[in-house]
Structure 1
């Protein structure tokens, strides 16, 4: 990615995090980012292409943050809880909303968004399964638990956006984490 495109993408991520997207046009986005709509088209092909790249960048940053927790020595008990705390930071809400908006558009086949589905699950399940294997899960169980973890996390994020019930989604995530820890203990006692 060129330096100019990286700079525009970083600015777009920051702008979308602060303002959301709503019905903003490509021209309005360009003005807000201090560039022209033609430059955005040159680098991202369309408004949808830009927004897909924004969400992919946010997802990349989130995966890097999770990896950093692991590298920093966060325990299997604390890493998921800390990561959930980071994901549910109210400042990320506009980006999480954008994620689900684009997900829905891609599922409907909206032009410029369908590539969003490429790796939408495996980009998370593969690193999560690696982490689970490193923390005592056998391969098949790690893959299944990683997929379940992605589904639960996304479902609870959607629940939080729809209901605003922070206590309820936090309690549900804690129950999921405890069940994962219980599964890990049972698998360790078998192995």
Structure 2
């Protein structure tokens, strides 16, 4: 007779593995996750079945965290015009708080992880259009959601390649000023 599933242990392991992967990147093997979370590869396989299932769960958990965090940053605030909200969101996303997610998901195109969640790139783009449209609606410009998202993604790629936070931050601030101009 085998042990009964213990969802609380599985969730604790998933959270620890996600924390480790956000800090160090998604590994190719189980051993870095096992040692980084204080467990064994055997225990991870017991709870998740396969390496790929664990990595899918880690990626999904990290994505849920990112959506909750970044989504909250993009919400309309009664006390702030939306370009100000976007400026605050940029500061967090491009700063230390957003870096773990950008590192993990920024490597997606060249990573074996792409095979784990093949639809990720599309979802990681379209997931942000709704919140941006809603926010931009507050200034009468919901049609600019794709443009704003493209600017954010492009500047994040630039920041990743160059590390030049001052220049990319200034470019985003300059872009936001264009949203404040009358049509």
In the superposition, the TM-score normalised over structure 2's length comes to 0.77
Map of 1:41 onto structure 2: 48
Query: C-alpha deviations, 1:96-153, integer Å up to 9, x for none?
Result: 11111124448xx94213132352222101111011113222xxxx23x111111111
Map of 1:82 onto structure 2: 88
| 2:179 matches 1:180 | yes
Distance in 1 between the 2:85 and 2:104 partners? 25
Map of 2:60 onto structure 1: 53
Map of 1:120 onto structure 2: 124
Kindly report which structure 2 residues correspond to 1:37-186, keeping only aligned pairs within 5 A, or say none: 37-39=44-46, 41-42=48-49, 45-46=52-53, 48-60=55-67, 61-67=69-75, 70-71=76-77, 73-105=79-111, 110-137=114-141, 142-143=142-143, 145-182=144-181, 185-186=182-183
Map of 2:3 onto structure 1: none
In the superposition, the TM-score normalised over structure 1's length comes to 0.74
Distance in 2 between the 1:3 and 1:134 partners? 41
Gaps of 5+ in 2: 1-6
| 2:35 matches 1:27 | no
Instruction: Give the number of aligned pairs.
Output: 173
Higher helix share: 1
Question: Does the C-alpha gap of structure 1 residues 75 and 7 become closer, same or farther in structure 2, counting only changes over 3 Å?
Answer: farther
Offset of residue 76 of structure 1:
1.8
Distance in 2 between the 1:124 and 1:102 partners? 17
Gaps of 5+ in 1: 187-191
Question: Does the C-alpha gap of structure 1 residues 173 and 154 become closer, same or farther in structure 2, counting only changes over 3 Å?
Answer: same
Give the CA RMSD over aligned residues. 2.8
Distance in 2 between the 1:40 and 1:172 partners? 46
Distance in 1 between the 2:12 and 2:139 partners? 37
Contact 2:73 2:85 in 1 (8 A): no
Query: C-alpha deviations, 1:56-78, integer Å up to 9, x for none?
Result: 124212112322xx346332232
